[in-house]
Structure 1
Amino acid sequence: MGENKNIILALVLSGIILFGYQYFIAGPRIEAQRQYEALQAEQAAIEGTENAGVIEQDDAPSLPLAVSVDPQTDQSSSGNYTYADAKTIAINNAELSGSISLGGARFDNLFLANHNVELNGEEKVQLLVPANEDNGYFVRFGWTAVDASISADDLPKATTIWTSSDTELTPQSPVLLRWTNAAGIEFLIKIELDEQFMFTVTQTVNNTSGNPIQVRPYGFIDRKQEPVTDGLFVLHEGPIGVFDDNLEEQTYEDLRDADGGKFESTTSVGGWMGITDKYWMTVLIPDQAKQLAVSNLSYKASGGYRASYLEKAASVPAGGSFETQTQLYAGAKIVETIDNYQDEFGIKLFDRSIDWGWLYFLTKPFFAGIHFLFGLTGNFGVAILLFTVVVKLVLFPLANKSYVSMSHMKDAQPKMKALQERYKDDRQKLQQEMMAFYKKEKINPLAGCLPILIQMPIFFALYKVLYVTIEMRHQPFFGWIQDLSVADPVTPLNLFGLIPFDPPAVIAIGIWPILMGVTMWLQQKLNPQTNMDPTQQKIMAFLPIIFTFIMARFSAGLVIYWTWNNLLSITQQWYIMRKESARRAAKAANKA
């Protein structure tokens, strides 16, 4: 059982490390960020609104020198304009509301109509934020010049005021933005929206200048500030994309520290790039068959983060036109929706925008199973309970074999002790005799480890599913559990809310974590006792308490799963061990 003890010790250490990281690193970091943002907001209020309406100019993506020796930037030569100068076009469908600014043709004001910030609140989640705000988060499309056939001043810029006869973008009514330069070259941006989160942006150049021109279409997402994140290693939040058919996940810190402040590809065909939060994301999806001149995730020297692409040069003959099309996904990371878009548009690895992790082969099927059961029951908590029963049934043969082997081990304890006493001064000989004894008695000393080895990846896969998927956000169970995605809010430390006192999070142990600790203790008591040194015995005795504190800050859905899993294991173990007791009794009777 030495290997079993080592695994348990490793499990305890892993839990302590995770607990310590959450409370001593991630927690203070999040709190510091919140305090900083509150201070910034207070300072802005004190300073007044003198420059509140000025939109900071955003430059277009530029090619590395290896591709273009004369990269152009999208800068205004006529100065900034105030936000009030630009009209807006409303956005409305079943999932989204907001507006597109005609100033720079920016997607910069977007709310998720079916997702509230708080469980019982009315404030909607805001995904995109106007560019003139400190935490601006917006999307823009445009063109850069390639050579002297057209100058940068003859292209639409960050401060260009577009015109449109349309007033609202809906699934039934696309909008068309129009701008014509002094030479008569017309630039058009047609925007379409489906019933969910996908925009289709078609950029057109109509060259009526009488001379051929060359342009490069581009698109980018800018986020001016790093948002507050959970700070856990199990979830990626930040710049993300698929470049050269490979998923690339860059943290905000990665980009700040990267050489040149960016991750870049000049050979990618199609793919996608964007910025993801835990439950929401904004992603650009170029033509999947088109090779891009450059695509990247970057940290801008002026501050902020960007995901962008720049297409190869397009020649537009005199009197001719050029058109290119891009998708923009801006919304909630709903699994079924993203999978459908991946199939519909042939988007490479788009489902990986949800952080399924290294155990993808387990996490996604687990989600599918739980979601199917949710469809039958209407309650995610009940679906988790039923799914755990299914897992237990599948693993029952393995558990049965393990417990039977542990029972045989218990029967063999007297003989094993005799061997240990006989060869106590010759460890090598003792190991040889023990192995021969195991073989003779048909005992597998590793059998007790198998349930743990199998259970751990299942636990982490399920934890991943419950933590990263939006489907369980704000989903109730029964009683006081109104949101399975957050920690159990009820603790006996304040008499279940009767005393107006909020205990510190580190000791605010909820009811379900306590139940989990009790079931873990009961399960320990059922296990066959093995020879352990005093230190190991003390560690084992404290395991339920340690894990009660660790699991207290995990999502209630995960704690409910673990508690229910313990109860099923206790029942299963009691049944198997009862059969083994009957077998031993029959064997003893036969010998008698």
Structure 2
Amino acid sequence: MENNRNYFVAILMSVLVLVAWQFLYVSPKIERERLAAEALQAQQPVQTPAAGAEGAAPGDVNGSLPGGDTSIPGAVIQAGGLSREDAVAQTGRISIDTPALMGSINLSGARIDDLLLKEYRETIDPTSPNISLFSPAAMAEGYFAEVGYIGDAQSGPAPGPNTVWTAQPGQVLTPSSPVTLTYDNGENLVFTRVISVDENYLFSFEDTIANSGTAVASVASYGRITRFSKPATSGIYVLHEGLIGVIGEEGLQEIDYSDVEDTPVIAHGKATAGWMGITDKYWAAALVPPQGAGFETRFAHFTDGRARYQSDFKSDTLAVAPGGSVTSKTLLFAGAKQVPIIEGYEAEHNILNFDLMIDWGWFYFITKPMFWLIDYLFKVFGNFGIAILVTTVIVKLIFFPLANKSYVSMANMKKVQPKLEELKAKHGDDKMALQQGMMELYKKEKINPVAGCWPVLLQIPVFFALYKVLYVTIEMRHAPFFGWIRDLSAPDPTSMFNLFGLLPYDVPSFLMIGVWPLIMGITMFIQMRMNPTPPDPTQAMIFTWMPVVFTFMLATFPAGLVIYWAWNNTLSVLQQGVIMKRQGAKIELWDNLAALFKPKPKKT
């Protein structure tokens, strides 16, 4: 029994360390990074297009990717930047209007740099601003996607960052109406671009290059996603935010912002399949180069006048025969990381491991099925909170045989406790003889002394898998439960220290101990009191204070996770109580509760 308790203590202490790291390190780190990002954003100079810059394409001759030098157009102005309205008004544009997106295409560079998500807002307030994904470079938080070409001296200028494309007036990009842009380089090459978009988040750039000259023309396509501002990231080990891609056989590449700050250019070898981009917790932008053709990828951080982060690719050279033409197609994903949509794109367009844009983590073999189960139950019940409760019941049923065996073993351990005490008295300090006697007793009574650890061991990966689902999947973002829980992905907003909102003042974040964390703590306390109090004073103290510590620490976790833990504890208590009663083992709960209020004898 003592070994069994030691296993429990080791497991619980391991979980405690992880939770403490989240509470004491991650949360303060997120706040520091947010403040630092705001300060950096306020100090950064902003560039705006300069007169006469259009048509130039730096890097055309030497083959360098735009963004690797000073090719971002414009002169430096004072920090502060332009508003979205002013920045958008500076250049000719084509409007974007789909069920999911609104914004515009910048004709300078044919750049998508103005994009808002119609279905998502910054807060749970339905009147709060829509999520802004892309913003013009003239804004402090500039963020855009661009596809262009790199030529050579014989082929003449190729459309690059500053090229002004020609478009028929009145065009609007919708799922049913693609838009057409053209660029004539004046030296026998005409580029015709058809941009289309679906009802969700996928853009297509289909470029046809026609050569009316007498010599072979050579051009190479490039694509880049550039971000000027460094966002405040969650900074937590269960989630990657930053530069990302899948590069052929090299597989998944997850590059933190700090990685490219330390190593400004991270280049990869040639691949014929993959994608690259920048990801946030819920949003992402990713380019898919022409698949089957060769391309090179890099992730970079540039500080030449204005700091920026960039994921880009450069394709193999295309040879355009005299009087002929070639067509190249590049895809751009820009939007919310909805699981069914991303997996649908992967299947429809044969994009290598596109589903890895969502960070499923090490327990992906548990996390993904759990997401699909919760999402299915949400469609049935219409409430993610109820879906989590039903999922918990299903998980308990799946592991019922093993958990049932464990609880039976624990009940039998309690029944043979008097015999164990007899063995201790018989063998005294002879530990070898005591261990042999205990093993014989366990064998005779058909008891596994470590079986009681299995329910806890099983709960840990399930717990982290559910944490991952709640934390990284956008489907849980702003999902309400009942009452005051309006966002299952955020902590319980109430606090016992202002009587759950009855007193008119706010409390510090570390004192935000809401109703559900309290319920979780109470159920955890009851579950631990189902067993005898450990004889060792240290173990007894740990078991006494563990529910209190977890109540404070899990108060910072998503409410959906706390609800899961409280409901799981309740089911475990009921299951353990029924099994112990059937086995004839004494349920220690009432005696343990009574002992808390029993006055201790005075020392003489």
Common fold by TM > 0.5 = yes
Aligned to 1:156: 159
Shift of 1:550: 1.2
Change (3 A) 1:459 1:77: closer
Q: Distance in 2 between matches of 1:169 and 1:21?
A: 47
1:180 paired to 2:184: yes
Q: Distance in 2 between matches of 1:3 and 1:253?
A: 44
Structure 1 length normalisation: TM-score? 0.90
Shift of 1:76: 8.5
1:250-329 correspondence to structure 2 within 5 Å: 250-258=255-263, 261-292=264-295, 294-302=296-304, 303-329=307-333
Q: Distance in 2 between matches of 1:32 and 1:168?
A: 42
Superposed CA deviations along residues 258-302 of structure 1, whole A, max 9, x for unmatched, are: 3xx23332232211111111111001112332332x112222243
Change (3 A) 1:530 1:398: farther
1:548 paired to 2:551: yes
SS at match of 2:513: coil
CA contact (8 A) 1:54 1:83 kept: no
Identity %: 44
Q: Distance in 1 between matches of 2:549 and 2:72?
A: 64
Indicate the RMSD between aligned Cα atoms, in angstroms: 2.8
1:72 paired to 2:49: no
Shift of 1:187: 1.7
Q: Could you tell me which amino acid in structure 2 is paired with residue 33 of structure 1?
A: E
SS at match of 1:21: helix
Q: Could you tell me which amino acid in structure 1 is paired with residue 96 of structure 2?
A: I
Shift of 1:255: 2.0
1:534 paired to 2:537: yes
1:91-490 correspondence to structure 2 within 5 Å: 91-120=96-125, 121-145=127-151, 147-151=152-156, 154-166=157-169, 167-245=171-249, 246-258=251-263, 261-292=264-295, 294-302=296-304, 303-490=307-494
Q: Distance in 2 between matches of 1:493 and 1:247?
A: 46
Shift of 1:524: 1.1
Q: Distance in 2 between matches of 1:377 and 1:371?
A: 10
Q: Distance in 1 between matches of 2:327 and 2:423?
A: 83
Aligned to 1:590: none
Superposed CA deviations along residues 156-214 of structure 1, whole A, max 9, x for unmatched, are: 22222111015310011111111111213212221100111110111221112332111
Q: Distance in 2 between matches of 1:42 and 1:262?
A: 26
Segment of structure 1 superposing worse, 540-549 or 203-212: 203-212
Q: Distance in 2 between matches of 1:295 and 1:425?
A: 67
Q: Could you tell me which amino acid in structure 1 is paired with residue 114 of structure 2?
A: N
CA contact (8 A) 1:419 1:430 kept: yes
Q: Distance in 2 between matches of 1:58 and 1:307?
A: 24
Q: Distance in 1 between matches of 2:478 and 2:580?
A: 41
CA contact (8 A) 2:302 2:309 kept: yes
Q: Distance in 2 between matches of 1:359 and 1:78?
A: 41
Q: Distance in 1 between matches of 2:120 and 2:88?
A: 27
What stretches of structure 1 move > 6 A for 4+ residues in a row? 55-63, 75-79
Q: Distance in 2 between matches of 1:306 and 1:39?
A: 21
Q: Distance in 2 between matches of 1:52 and 1:23?
A: 42
SS at match of 2:510: coil
Q: Could you tell me which amino acid in structure 2 is paired with residue 305 of structure 1?
A: Y
Q: Distance in 2 between matches of 1:581 and 1:329?
A: 61
Structure 2 length normalisation: TM-score? 0.88
SS at match of 1:229: coil
Change (3 A) 1:544 1:83: closer
User: Unmatched 5+ residue regions in structure 2?
Assistant: 76-86, 588-604
Change (3 A) 1:226 1:532: farther
Aligned to 2:31: 31
CA contact (8 A) 1:255 1:298 kept: yes
Q: Could you tell me which amino acid in structure 1 is paired with residue 108 of structure 2?
A: G
Q: Distance in 1 between matches of 2:344 and 2:537?
A: 56
CA contact (8 A) 2:72 2:161 kept: no
